[in-house]
Structure 1
């Protein structure tokens, strides 16, 4: 696999690998609670890992599941269903050939249901094996007739006529149904709707009119009766469901309106898309819980990242091998560096010098152990170091090939990662996978950070603008991010020195729908992060009034500090002379090559 990020996508990992590197969190336990759940987060934020961990193929392999008595609180059998683009592509192909919308949706619905049933049969097989291991072979033998009757009942429910009744035979028949459905769909797409025969349609599209929840309840009741376990609960874990056609999501949400007595649904979605329309389709917010999978506070992501490194690399303290970031907020331990930066900027930056004088700041005393560093100096110190790095002895901007002092060291790397496990693992795997406790040079760290960051930005630069998870825009996503980043960088380095510089933006009323849709797509891919918002899932069809910052994943690319600061209206940024006078940098051949890395 030549994609450095996809190599760490939980969708492609073995369950043993997921368990080995899994780090639990409050968000995971919230997702795992008994009841319907909508799990919201950008691509790469860990939604797939959560759902796969909850599947009965993975969860029992996790030591913590037994040790911490999670088996008491997670008392359901989870069935993982990966998203499949075929569900939507089948509709588009058939309708392009002229097939009625109701018929095309029936093909897609049957494909979706068949996928669910295949994974359900596999999970029931694991469920029975758990009884075999726990209760012994004799227990299973005594219930052999009941299990056989259950399998016959399931076959009848699924309209299957296998030559022999067994779970493996049912699975084979379901794959056969899926193959015949695909062949029939392609046949009609090629030869046209005139070839549609109602009898053949009813035979090859067998689940067009079933109710999914009722059908699943029949299946589960049959197998639970066989084991005299009528209180057993089951969870359908639907991953990447933003790629499913809208009517499929409507169908699932409708099922989530009822109580989760026997079956619960846990659905993973990105923040924005047509699925935001579900807000008017549920009876109340109590129908399901919403878990938003992003870290608002730095402390939350730092703890997660540290635990992930411990689980993956068996390193208790990442600082021992990556060191501390040079300009960390521990001012007293790093006082010489800070005094040097303040003196350097003071000597060459008139604007900064005037700021120091007007605020009567004695920065050498501020960093002395005898005195407490004032809040104003603590606030401006990161800006001083960053601004100083870009100005020459004459106070003019200079080019920088490397900014290792800002983007290497454990503090910086963990913050840049945004708690995104896929980015963090792709960055650290090469660095930490070959070291014991040896300190890794900053130059190696920054090189690896740039590879991961450039790959991420290359992916963003090629995002489709039309029907991207239900969103369309005429504004290229990465171009918009570049404009915002350029404004922030130039205000920070070239503008008048101020204690607070804009590093976040608010989507104000003057921002048009085209820009807003571009931001929604950027959010879905983790390129922007919501800040201090009271909005919740179900209201993200409109970003007006929401405050965002650019993801730290792009900070090394855009040469921005890994921190937040005051907000400015987005329309002010886009209409500013700074942005209008900034040419958009054409993508170089190196960036084009890196598209394949993400």
Structure 2
């Protein structure tokens, strides 16, 4: 796996956030999934996903600009058919954050201001879509230039009342000038009652999405689209908006005006309301559908083996897409060849029955010991005892025999890395980036030693664990509850006798809305996962349900990245109380536990 060249090749894993990806690189790196296919339709969708789950990558790729660059048979057909045109609209903090600062505005004024800013943002984003449509559907350079001139002239007249705009560039520049002048007038109006901000950019004071729909209508006069074309407004990161803003958007999800549909991304539990500006709330499945990214595709419904196979394929696809255009493209390099297999998790890494029975006698409970000795020497021993207990016994033994800073290799192997990534693209890419940077090779990406993998996974796990303290609002509370849950599971795995069913999940069984809010926020951060595969894959539980810690936290707590059986959260809280901790936990106290 060595490559020629005196300098170390460019790192294909450096960028782990689609927010920083461009139209040149994201289509080459994108992995097509079933969830993505479902979004390409004339339906309203709200896409739920934890931090790093790929929401921005998916919503960007829905846009015509990005989709038209994707080398994929389905994508080519969608662009050719002209039946789906996506417009990517990011909720930029530069203006969304400013909405919360205008405390002097009444609710009606606040709504009008939000409407104006979102209209501007949608129209600005539409210009990238317009550019892509003109380029894709013009037969030659002459037709391309004429179509752009005709559309720009009429859109300029509609938006700005000007007759001398003939290009998309001029539209973009005029839009930026209008936005700046409007904001300036709003500030002047606070001290000078003679200034009327409404006089600037009047077209964007119309109803929400009206200027966008006008631009689409003009576009359809010069570019042919089928009558059933869906124009998808793809709004990213709606968790930054307020409940009022969600109510405003919900009102538009109830209609199918001029072929406009909505694809909105937000974190789990961050679609703040189903209310609308009318007396009728949104009706799920009639007006819109949720798509939960964290479990679609990767949490397979066919059993544990197929779940891992789905995870494995997803991770391998991401890896292959990343290296395809690098110096390793076509080299045959794979995740498995880089990381080897996991001694703890691989079914191929066997421990003979004599070795297993010694560990069972040392660490297992009496019932498991009796069962193991009864089956010793038979195939059932491997199927019913060895397969279920191997990882836990080896991990327990690692912990008992490797003290202090001694180098161990428990958290290594491609099965372990795939499990710990949890189907989270950003997490996987960040780990691959760390593995790449750990290599001292100047001309190649060589297999990573088990000791290096273990060190990187533990450091990454600890970083995920510690940084939650600094999350705004409930960071310390999230840290406290996850600390207690993780240390409870560690107590069972490393200090209690083991059985074939290990406890690695918790059941929310408390009538405590404040505590539930902490768990819900932890889910949004990708630190806790609801086990929705036990019920409805797209229905997130509220004040109930079974949950597990994200597997990336397993190295920090010395746990196996498995689901296991569940225990009541009240039992875990009692475990903390027994150790002198009350419900008012502090993260300093948790470090002492």
Does the residue aligned with 2:342 lie in a helix, a strand or coil?
coil
Residue 513 of structure 1 corresponds to which residue in structure 2?
513
Residue 226 of structure 1 corresponds to which residue in structure 2?
222
Alpha-carbon distance in 2 for matches of 1:100, 1:253: 21
Instruction: Determine if the alignment matches structure 1 residue 127 to structure 2 residue 137.
Output: no
Counterpart pick for 2:417 among 413, 419, 423: 413
Instruction: Determine if the alignment matches structure 1 residue 385 to structure 2 residue 394.
Output: yes
Instruction: Determine if the alignment matches structure 1 residue 85 to structure 2 residue 93.
Output: yes
Does the residue aligned with 2:377 lie in a helix, a strand or coil?
helix
Counterpart pick for 1:334 among 334, 350, 358: 350
Does the residue aligned with 1:78 lie in a helix, a strand or coil?
strand
In structure 2, stretches of 5+ residues that fail to align are: 1-11, 301-306, 324-328
Alpha-carbon distance in 2 for matches of 1:360, 1:445: 33
- Greater displacement, 574-583 / 39-48: 574-583
CA separation of 1:303 and 1:243: change in aligned 2, threshold 3 A: same
Does the residue aligned with 1:285 lie in a helix, a strand or coil?
coil
Residue 494 of structure 1 corresponds to which residue in structure 2?
495
Residues 5 and 422 of structure 1 are in contact (CA less than 8 Å); yes or no, is this contact kept in structure 2?
no
Counterpart pick for 1:210 among 206, 210, 218: 206
Give TM-score, length-normalised by structure 2: 0.84
Residues 78 and 237 of structure 1 are in contact (CA less than 8 Å); yes or no, is this contact kept in structure 2?
yes
Residue 574 of structure 2 corresponds to which residue in structure 1?
575
Aligned-pair CA distance for 1:205: 6.2
Alpha-carbon distance in 2 for matches of 1:421, 1:575: 36
Alpha-carbon distance in 1 for matches of 2:380, 2:517: 50
Residue 109 of structure 1 corresponds to which residue in structure 2?
115
Does the residue aligned with 2:530 lie in a helix, a strand or coil?
strand
Aligned-pair CA distance for 1:283: 3.9
Residue 478 of structure 1 corresponds to which residue in structure 2?
479
Alpha-carbon distance in 2 for matches of 1:71, 1:120: 16
Counterpart pick for 1:374 among 383, 386, 396: 383
Query: Number of residues paired by the alignment?
Result: 551
Residues 153 and 164 of structure 2 are in contact (CA less than 8 Å); yes or no, is this contact kept in structure 1?
no
Does the residue aligned with 2:92 lie in a helix, a strand or coil?
coil
Alpha-carbon distance in 2 for matches of 1:195, 1:68: 55
Residues 64 and 70 of structure 1 are in contact (CA less than 8 Å); yes or no, is this contact kept in structure 2?
no
CA separation of 1:530 and 1:241: change in aligned 2, threshold 3 A: same
Residues 346 and 415 of structure 2 are in contact (CA less than 8 Å); yes or no, is this contact kept in structure 1?
no
Residues 107 and 208 of structure 1 are in contact (CA less than 8 Å); yes or no, is this contact kept in structure 2?
no
Does the residue aligned with 1:383 lie in a helix, a strand or coil?
helix
Instruction: Determine if the alignment matches structure 1 residue 318 to structure 2 residue 335.
Output: yes
The correspondence of residues 551-590 of structure 1 with structure 2, limited to 5 A, is: 551-577=550-576, 580-581=579-580, 586=588
Residue 282 of structure 1 corresponds to which residue in structure 2?
282
Does the residue aligned with 2:86 lie in a helix, a strand or coil?
strand
Alpha-carbon distance in 2 for matches of 1:238, 1:5: 27
Give TM-score, length-normalised by structure 1: 0.83
Instruction: Determine if the alignment matches structure 1 residue 530 to structure 2 residue 530.
Output: yes
Aligned-pair CA distance for 1:503: 0.8
Does the residue aligned with 1:264 lie in a helix, a strand or coil?
strand
Does the residue aligned with 2:503 lie in a helix, a strand or coil?
coil
Give the root-mean-square deviation of aligned CA atoms: 3.3
Alpha-carbon distance in 2 for matches of 1:200, 1:525: 43
Alpha-carbon distance in 1 for matches of 2:107, 2:434: 50
Alpha-carbon distance in 1 for matches of 2:53, 2:413: 22
Counterpart pick for 1:361 among 362, 369, 373: 373
Does the residue aligned with 1:63 lie in a helix, a strand or coil?
coil
In structure 1, stretches of 5+ residues that fail to align are: 393-397, 466-472, 590-598
Alpha-carbon distance in 2 for matches of 1:203, 1:326: 70
CA separation of 1:479 and 1:399: change in aligned 2, threshold 3 A: farther
Counterpart pick for 1:270 among 263, 267, 280: 267
CA separation of 1:157 and 1:451: change in aligned 2, threshold 3 A: farther
Spell out, residue by residue over 1:185-217, the C-alpha distance to the aligned partner (whole angstroms, 9 max, x if none).
4556xxxx45444x6121246366422334322
The correspondence of residues 178-193 of structure 1 with structure 2, limited to 5 A, is: 178-187=179-188, 193=190
Instruction: Determine if the alignment matches structure 1 residue 155 to structure 2 residue 156.
Output: yes
- Greater displacement, 406-415 / 525-534: 525-534
